[in-house]
Amino acid sequence: MRGTAMLTETTTTTTEAPIEISNYRVPDEELPEFKDMKFENINELHLDHPGAHDLEYRERRDYIAGLTKNFRLTGKITDVDYSPREQRVWRYVAEELEELQQKYASPFYLQAKRDLGITTDRIPQLSEMNRRLKELTGFRLAPIEGLVETRGFLSWLSYRVMLCTQYIRHHSQPAYTPEPDIVHESIGHIPMFTNPNFADFSQFIGHGARIANDKQLEELGRLYWFTVEFGMVEHEGDVKAYGAGLLSSFGELEHAFSDKVERRPFNLEQVINHEYTYSDMQPVLYVVPSYAELKEVTREYIESFSGK
Ligand SMILES: [Fe+2]
C-alpha cells in the first residue's frame, strides 16, 4: 500500500562527508540507490481531489503510481500507455496554457519546451525527457507516487534528480489539481532543468536540504516556493514567469500578472522569511534579475549552513 511506504529514520548529515556546495554532475554509479529512497509521507488521495469519489480514476491513478516501484527496483522508467481520455485532458490543458505562456512565460522556458519535444498533441513520457535532460545538464527524472516530505524531496536535487509523478489530473476539472501530476511536472518543472544556471541552483537547494537544521529547512522550502514554484524573472525590461506553479495553471499565471499581485525584486532574506499559504493565490511574488544571480545568491546562502 502506498500509504504504508513509510520508513523509520531520515538521513542525517552526521555520517556524511561534508558536502561541497558546487554544481558537480553525479555519475550513475554514484547515485544513492533508488530502491533505498526514503519516504515519510506519501499522501493518499485527498478528499477534495476531484477524482476522490471516482473509483475507476483512483484505480488508474494507483496503477500508474505503482509503476514507480519498478523504477526503484530497476532504475528504469516505465512508460505509461495513456488512455484517449487522459490524452484529451492533456490536450485541453496544454493548449490553453500554451496560449497564455506565449504572453507570460520566460523565453528560455518556451524554447526549452520545444527542445524537449513537449507539445500540445500528446502526453510526453518521462523517459524521453529524462534522456534529453541528462545530455543537456546532467539532470535526471525519477518517477514517484505522490508528495514526499520536504527534506526527502529536496535532497534528491542534490544529486541532480527531480522526483516526478506520472498520472494525470481528473477529467472533470482539467484546469485544477490539488496534487502534482504529469501536467505540472512536464509543463511546469521539467523544461527549466535544461537551463544550466537553474539546474545548478536547484542542486544547491538540494545540498542545503541535506545539511539544513529544521529552521533552515523551512527557509529552504520558502525559497523553493518563491522560485521553483512561483518565480518570475526579468527579461529585457519586462517580467516573465519561470515557476512551475505559475506555468502549469491558467488561474495562477493570469493572476500573477494582474494588479492584484505585488511583484517585488528578489531579496533572499525577505523570501526565506516570507510565510505563505498553499491554498490561496499568491499576493506577493519575487522577480529575479537572472538565473545566474539566483544561483550565486543561493550558493552563498547554503554555504552559510555549514559555516564555510
Ligand atoms: Fe511543483
Residue 157 φ then ψ, to 5°: -65, -25
Alpha-carbon distance of 139 to 123, in angstroms, equals: 20
- Residue 245 Cα, ligand 1 centroid: separation in angstroms? 6
Question: Could you give the count of Cα atoms lying within 13 Å of 198 in the half-sphere of its Cβ?
Answer: 27
pLDDT digits (tens, 9 = 90+) for 138-194: 999 999 988 888 898 999 999 999 999 999 999 999 988 888 999 999 999 999 999
Cα–Cα distance, 191 to 165 (Å, whole number): 15
CA of 164 to the centre of ligand 1 (A): 9
Active site residues: 184, 189, 229, 248
Residue 85 predicted with pLDDT over 70: yes
Cell 536547484, residue located: 202
Instruction: Calculate how far, in angstroms, residue 163's C-alpha sits from the geometric centre of ligand 1.
Output: 10
Stretch 239-266: mean pLDDT? 96
Burial letters 117-146, b for 16+ CB under 10 A, else e: ebeeeebbbbebbbebbeebbbbbbbbbbb
CA of 308 to the centre of ligand 1 (A): 30
- The reported pTM is 0.90
Instruction: In whole angstroms, give the CA distance from residue 225 to residue 277.
Output: 10
